[in-house]
Amino acid sequence: MKSTALFFRIAEKALLESEDKFQKISHSAQDAIIMMDDNGKISFWNPASERTFGYSSEEVLGKDLHTIITTQKCQEPFIKGFKKFKETGTGPVIGKTLELTAVRKNGKEFPVELSISAINIGGNWNSIGIIRDITERKQSEEKIVHMAYHDHLTGLPSRLLLLDRLNQVLALGKRHHLYAGVLFLDLCCFKHINDTLGHSAGDELLKGVADRLKSALRVTDTIARLGGDEFVIILQDIKQIKDIIRVIEKLFHVLSEPILVKGYELLITASIGISVFPDDGEDAETFLKNSDIAMYRTKNGGAGNKYQLYTPAMDENSLEKLKSENMLR
């Protein structure tokens, strides 16, 4: 009997020590640690949970976990999955790390990383969830993606995003037999302005030009900056060539007004080369190259608001030659 009593005292002491360790660890943890009993009610809520979700433990203990922190659209799948978990201790989220959206007390949704484990207590399945607020991480990821796909100066799409959108437009055009136009636009005399007024003035001018060009386009059109003073515009769902010409005239019009930079009123003109889908190529790179060739043909014809359509008669291998001829002027 004495040995049995001693065993229970030792077991009880070990259990109390174990609980004490769990309390200390969970209270010092930076991540939210939440325990849910076999009825889906919150049975443990550490201080980090209070900081993460805005509820005190008194407010949530004994409450349904799914209605407290999950979004409306996630509640039904979670409740259905919990029925299986209650019976077997298994489920599609058990033992996995997931990224999903949670809800704070103030109703604000935010991204979290969630890991859930199952634990059997007295023959009933309970779950322990470790939840981390990943708002800052997501913002950093979004910033990195934005930097990869957008020009740092103007905020316009970069070449990478331009090609992606152009491929989408071409695929849509092939499927529905639609026309599209690719305009390659280069500013005249930008180098002279950059050299005389400085790079900061040149940057300010480019931002002003980007805003002007955007104002002349539809929401469905795409404008990108490839670098320097080169811009590319994708016009989708074009019915006929004269629709492209109307857009170009509108672009020339918005550029005709002086742009104020560092106290100077600067007048800007542009050269534009045009390639048209489906006549001038099969893929995005080809359309971009052909509009570039047409632009340099225009540019080498002299400064001013001018445009030219690409034609097969233009030598596809002459782009570098056209560029070098332009640099000699």
- Calpha distance 39→61 (Å, rounded): 12
Q: Apex CA 159: angle with CA 155 and CA 224, to 5°?
A: 45
Closest CA to 211 of 278, 136, 153, 296: 153
- 39: helix, strand or coil: coil
Residue 4 confidence (pLDDT) above 50: no
Beta-carbon contacts of residue 189 (< 8 Å; ≥ 6 apart):
268, 269, 303
pTM of the model: 0.71
pLDDT at residue number 241: 87
Q: Is 203 a catalytic residue?
A: no
pLDDT at 312: 80
Tens digit of each residue's pLDDT (9 = 90 or more) over 170-195: 998 888 888 899 999 999 888 888 88
Tens digit of each residue's pLDDT (9 = 90 or more) over 140-172: 999 999 888 999 999 999 999 999 999 999 998
Rg of the chain in Å (alpha carbons): 32
Between 22 and 57, the more confident residue is 57
Dihedral pair phi/psi, residue 321, rounded to 5°: -65, -45
Question: Domains along the chain?
Answer: 19-138 (3.30.450.20), 150-327 (3.30.70.270)
> Looking at 31, 38, 186, 229, which residue is catalytic?
229
